[in-house]
Amino acid sequence: MKNVMKLNMIAFFYGLILFIQTELALNVYRLERIFKWFTYRFDSILIIVIFFISTIIFYVISKKLCIGKIRYSLSILWIPYYIVLIFLFAYLFPITYPGDKPADILGIVLLGIYFIYSFYIHMINMVSFYWNK
């Protein structure tokens, strides 16, 4: 039971990190309108910094907390948490200004990101599993 809770906690953090990165990428116009100092360059740098820091953190967490090969289920377990976070964000912060809507093509880009993110999680878990031996 304790391992299942650890696994779900890690899956939540995987979903949270992707949620933060995608919302930063999709809501550039809204963030720029609300915060005058927020620019595209700052957004891109922030996303890259979050990516590298999260990779290091998740490697360490996966190495210390995950036991056995059940860690590979994290490649799929992050999806429900990500969906809940997206719906919660859309409910709490609806788009009221039509200029804040992202471009239509970003849906296809997000599908590619989701596919790649599953492999990214799998690679982190694989590296932490084999280097932990």
Give residue-wise pLDDT tens across range 104-128.
Answer: 888 899 999 999 999 998 888 888 8
Q: Which two structure tokens, joined as six digits, stand for 51? A: 């990516």
Please give the pLDDT value at position 133.
60
Record the pTM. 0.86
Residues of the chain predicted below pLDDT 70: 1, 66-68, 132-133
Q: How far apart are CA 89 and CA 121, in angstroms?
A: 23
Domain boundaries, the chain: 2-131
Q: How far apart are CA 31 and CA 19, in angstroms?
A: 15
Check if the beta carbon of residue 63 is closer than 8 Å to that of residue 126: no
- Residue 95's φ and ψ, nearest 5 degrees, are -80, 115
* Residue 128 neighbours by CB distance under 10 Å: 19
Q: How far apart are CA 13 and CA 89, in angstroms?
A: 16
Residue that has been written with the tokens 């309108």 in this structure: 33
Please give the pLDDT value at position 132.
64
Q: How far apart are CA 131 and CA 43, in angstroms?
A: 33
